[in-house]
Structure 1
Amino acid sequence: MARHPAHSLAVRATRSILTVVALIGAFNLALGYFLSMDRESREMRIHLQELLDTVERPASIACFLRDPQLAGEVAAGLLANSVVAEAVIATDTLTLARAGRGAPSDVAGAEVIVRRIVSPFDPDQYVGEIRLTPDQAALDAEIARTSLFIAALMLVQTLAIGAFVALVVYGFVTRPLKRAVAALLGLPAEEGGRLPQVSHHEQDEIGELIAYVNRLLDRLVGLLHQERDLRRELAIEGQRFRSIFENAETGIFLLDGTGGMLSYNPACRRLLPVPEQADELSALRAFFKDDDQAHRLIALCRERNQSIHRDVQIRGTDRDASARWIQLTLTPIGDEMFQGVVNDITERKIAEARALLAARTDPLTGLLNRAGFIDALGERLNPARATPRSWAALMIVDLDLFKTINDTYGHAAGDRVLMAVARRLKRLVRMSDPVGRFGGDEFVLLMSGVDQLDVVERLARKIVAGVAREIPIGDRRVVRVGVSVGIALSPLERADRARLFKEADEAMYEAKRAGRNAYRFFSAPAAPASEPP
């Protein structure tokens, strides 16, 4: 709403106050002469400091030489000024000169101006001081009269201005505001009540204020209705969230920065071994098989400041001690809080492990298949794991005349022979040595970390002798098979898979050419029989 400048509260009050101040200022201007006394007092003190500046050099020489005559001349020169009541020049232990009007008791208690004096040759050396006492009596009397007069004038002026300003403020501001406040205090705002306008103030700032308050009241009523609706919706959403939180199959929990669990839902209690007592909330790190895993996950989440997802193996519960797998999602909330979501993926992990095992295992014999054995070979032929004078021995074991058993007794009998040979090979080798079936009647095994050749030879002899024993094939029938074993050796740090297979295969055919049921090394070792070549 437009408002004429003449109706402004500020303009009206300012015009009245400036009129009064101008009238009082005219009187103060005539009385300004008397205020010059204060200026004269300040100038006198400045003059005293200038006097000290003038005599500082000769006084420094007098104190340095401890010359009472020179010091007396300087003190007498200071006393020649009418504003000085007493002048004293002294060292730290001796008063060299004193000049004053009257006895020392006449200036006792008066203000003393002290100027420290340093050596004329060394500014860091203290040699004495000048103590100057002004003639304060006459000055005090004049300053007191002047000050009293000025104070009276200022008091009259302040009272006059204060009284008039108070009247103006009360008439134009305080009284209408009091009326507006009284009306506001008794106003039923929630029912849509409005403030009435104050008489004679419809077009000034108070009138605008009341109009603005009424607009605020209208908005407040609208916001109250919105807040009531939002509160109702929030209550409904809270109940819905609580229902989801309590009945969800997914575990949901809240952590502090150290891994301590602050809250969790029932699904989390089922998935994680959370204690029953609510006041003994466990820490997330207590669930992991690796105690440092929780700290690493929290540190990673804090460092990246984003959600992280991990498949984690955790400790079992009291009812089920077997380790289980969960899928964990950790999300930072603020600086030192994290929200976690967990799902049980144990069955999925078991299925994956079974699928991986099936993909790496020969279904008939339970040994490693070609892919599984190649993976195991890659793990063991790792130069980083090799030790000095450590060797690898690859053996290819091929059954002799196995086709005759299949042709004579059938494939079922042949399968029994293959399973029996697989069991005997597993019993003969070390637990850490992988054994595989490459298909048909060909088996392969690896010995790693070998430091003596006779160990490999003894194993080869045991394989030839062990496989040659009778093998039951059902219906009280037994058969015998022989094996041809080819052996390839290589230092572990330089082992090459392709070369080992090629050399072992050639050594195996050499054993077959030698009459079967025997073993052969790829080449005769150059070293003694107790060590690899």
Structure 2
Amino acid sequence: MLNILRTSIVYRSSFMVLAIALCVGGLFAAFTYLWESTTEQELARARLGTLLSTVENTLSIACYLSDANLAKEVGQGLLKNQEVAGIKIYSPKSTLIELHKDKSLKKINSLLPSLKTNPQIQRPIFSPFNHKESVCQIELTPAIDFIRSQVNHKARFTSLLLMLQALIMAGAVVYIVMYLITRPIKTISDRLHHLTPNDDASLPLPTGNERDEIGQLVRDVNNLFSKLFHILEDERELRMQHQIGERKFRAIFNNSETGIFLLKPDGEVISCNPAFLRLLAIVPNASPELIRHSLISNLNDYALRLQGMLENARHDDQISSEDFAIEVGTPPQQKWINLVISAVENDVLQGLVNDITERKMLEESANQLAITDHLTGIANRLGFEKAMSRIQFEMHAGLISSFYILMIDLDGFKYVNDQYGHEVGDKVLCHFSELLSKIVRRSDFIARIGGDEFVVILKEMDEVNQVENIANKIITETSQVIHFGDAIHIQIGASIGINFINTADYDIATILHHADEAMYLAKKAGKNQYHLFQQKN
């Protein structure tokens, strides 16, 4: 029974409707029973009072005359009423009459509480000539069992009518629910249970429900089933396309020259393709532990940059790309790689790594050519400007505090070009460049910024006499005779302008201009000497 109630909406709804009807009907029936009983008892007392009122005048004469026969006739008349069990008429001096019925009625069991413990009705009888003079008392005893049986009969009849009405209404509701609602729903459920998924599958409309909510439900189910079928067909097609795409991707993944890998937000590699292992010089049969930490270990020197890329990809949803110089393999081989990291799903990142060593070498070679003087092999003017920008950054960072710049112009170089030609002049320039490289420190910087104009940058010189010693050495070495074979003997000189810079907020053009002014004063003073620039106040 419990299993049927759990699995059948028909029986469950019917049982619930009947249970509710019985509970509500029983409650109202009990209330009606109590109310009817109380009302009937009060009505019985009222009827007895009215009965007394009809014989009150006759009793007043009988009592006034003390006529027992008349009183007895009145009492016998009252006893004929089924609701009267006994009567007693008495005065303070004597009892006039006392009559009782035989207790022939059976005691009736009742759900009601008993009538009042003192049910007798007493009333004084007054003189017919003086309405204020009491001549006797009448005491009427109700027939309690008869009254109770009448009360029970009426109350039970009313309660049974209410229960019957509730059951009839419940039966009607159950029938309506079963016939109009649950029966069509069960029919739909049974048909839906055996419905096979195909393009033509649909539920027939229940007879009589074509235009109501059940009919609409069937139409909606058919529409939903049709849409679901097409969605499943589309999903099946997409799954096939996905499998084809996955096979293509797997082929690209395994044969690509780009390293492809997945990693956790902490940098641990989850999976990778063979190209990733080749780029980092990891053998294919390496341990999983080595592969997991391969990216972190190879970029250990760039831990902060790698952490920044991981954070940007994970939290900011940015694609991060960086170039790194690493050493891989045994013996160590320097290699440039480009690393790209992006987010693909929660707590999983995707990475791409490419070998850009050749490109970096070409870029480095191109940059070097751009900042190198093609004749002497030292820096050109662009190289000098880049060196000045780098020094300015170092001063702002507090790495250095000051430097000296030497502007050098070769004395007599124009005569060499005019006398021996540009080929010999170029050899003189190369000779002077080599001479400068030997005199200054490896940490210093030299550049050719014009035809025969050279610049030397001396960093972190504490004493000016050190700079002067270098300038004197340059002048001395430059003035030595240069021999090109047995026939060509050349002697040139060097005029040097020195400028001291101890602030990071400098302008390159101004610095060169001040150094050039000092060099001009050296030439004006007789050439082949140096002059220190003095700031005018």
TM-score normalised per structure 1: 0.60
CA distance in 2, matches of 1:35, 1:416: 141
Letter in 2 for 1:394: I
- Please, which moves more after superposition, 344-353 or 354-363? 344-353
The aligned counterpart of 2:314 is 302
Letter in 2 for 1:225: E
- Cα separation, partners in 2 of 1:34 and 1:488, compared to 1, 3 Å: farther
The aligned counterpart of 2:370 is 359
Answering whether residue 492 of structure 2 is matched by residue 482 of structure 1, we say yes
- Cα separation, partners in 2 of 1:484 and 1:212, compared to 1, 3 Å: closer
Letter in 2 for 1:492: N
- Cα separation, partners in 2 of 1:220 and 1:429, compared to 1, 3 Å: same
What does the per-residue CA deviation read over 1:408-459, in whole Å, with 9 as the maximum and x for residues that have no partner? 4433222222112111211211122110112222222121222112211221
Q: 1:425 aligns with which of 436, 458, 482?
A: 436
Q: How does 1:104-253 map to 2 (within 5 A)?
A: 181-190=189-198, 192=200, 213-253=221-261
CA distance in 1, matches of 2:516, 2:206: 113
CA distance in 2, matches of 1:23, 1:336: 64
Q: 1:472 deviation in Å?
A: 4.7
- Cα separation, partners in 2 of 1:196 and 1:376, compared to 1, 3 Å: closer
8 Å CA contact retained: 2:14, 2:174: no
CA distance in 1, matches of 2:323, 2:214: 69
8 Å CA contact retained: 1:284, 1:294: no
SS in structure 1 at match of 2:472:
helix
Structure 1 gaps of 5+ residues are 1-8, 37-152, 526-533
Q: 2:263 aligns with which of 238, 255, 258?
A: 255
TM-score normalised per structure 2: 0.60
- Cα separation, partners in 2 of 1:161 and 1:343, compared to 1, 3 Å: farther
SS in structure 1 at match of 2:503:
helix
CA distance in 2, matches of 1:386, 1:204: 87
Letter in 2 for 1:403: K
CA distance in 2, matches of 1:454, 1:414: 32
The aligned counterpart of 1:446 is 457
Q: 2:335 aligns with which of 324, 335, 340?
A: 324
Answering whether residue 32 of structure 2 is matched by residue 30 of structure 1, we say yes
CA distance in 2, matches of 1:434, 1:167: 107
Q: 1:362 deviation in Å?
A: 0.6
8 Å CA contact retained: 2:326, 2:337: no
CA distance in 2, matches of 1:215, 1:518: 102
The aligned counterpart of 1:373 is 384
What does the per-residue CA deviation read over 1:363-412, in whole Å, with 9 as the maximum and x for residues that have no partner? 11111112211332343356536699x65322222223223433444332
CA distance in 1, matches of 2:202, 2:399: 94
The aligned counterpart of 2:529 is 518
Aligned length: 393
Q: 1:293 deviation in Å?
A: 1.3
CA distance in 1, matches of 2:361, 2:445: 23
CA distance in 2, matches of 1:212, 1:375: 76
CA distance in 2, matches of 1:491, 1:229: 75
What does the per-residue CA deviation read over 1:261-289, in whole Å, with 9 as the maximum and x for residues that have no partner? 22233333344455633723235333334
Q: 1:291 aligns with which of 303, 306, 309?
A: 303
Letter in 1 for 2:270: L
Answering whether residue 413 of structure 2 is matched by residue 413 of structure 1, we say no
- Cα separation, partners in 2 of 1:247 and 1:515, compared to 1, 3 Å: same
Q: 1:222 deviation in Å?
A: 3.6
CA distance in 1, matches of 2:348, 2:221: 43
CA distance in 1, matches of 2:296, 2:362: 26
CA distance in 1, matches of 2:512, 2:202: 99
Greater Cα radius of gyration, structure 1 or 2:
2
SS in structure 2 at match of 1:341:
strand
CA distance in 2, matches of 1:513, 1:205: 113
CA distance in 1, matches of 2:345, 2:238: 26
- Cα separation, partners in 2 of 1:438 and 1:199, compared to 1, 3 Å: closer
The aligned counterpart of 2:414 is 403
- Please, which moves more after superposition, 455-464 or 506-515? 506-515
8 Å CA contact retained: 2:328, 2:335: no
8 Å CA contact retained: 2:265, 2:348: yes
- Please, which moves more after superposition, 326-335 or 258-267? 326-335
Structure 1 vs Structure 2: percent identity of aligned residues? 32
> Aligned-residue CA RMSD in angstroms?
4.4
The aligned counterpart of 1:336 is 347
8 Å CA contact retained: 2:404, 2:458: yes
The aligned counterpart of 2:466 is 455
8 Å CA contact retained: 2:260, 2:273: yes
- Cα separation, partners in 2 of 1:320 and 1:30, compared to 1, 3 Å: same
Q: 1:328 deviation in Å?
A: 3.4
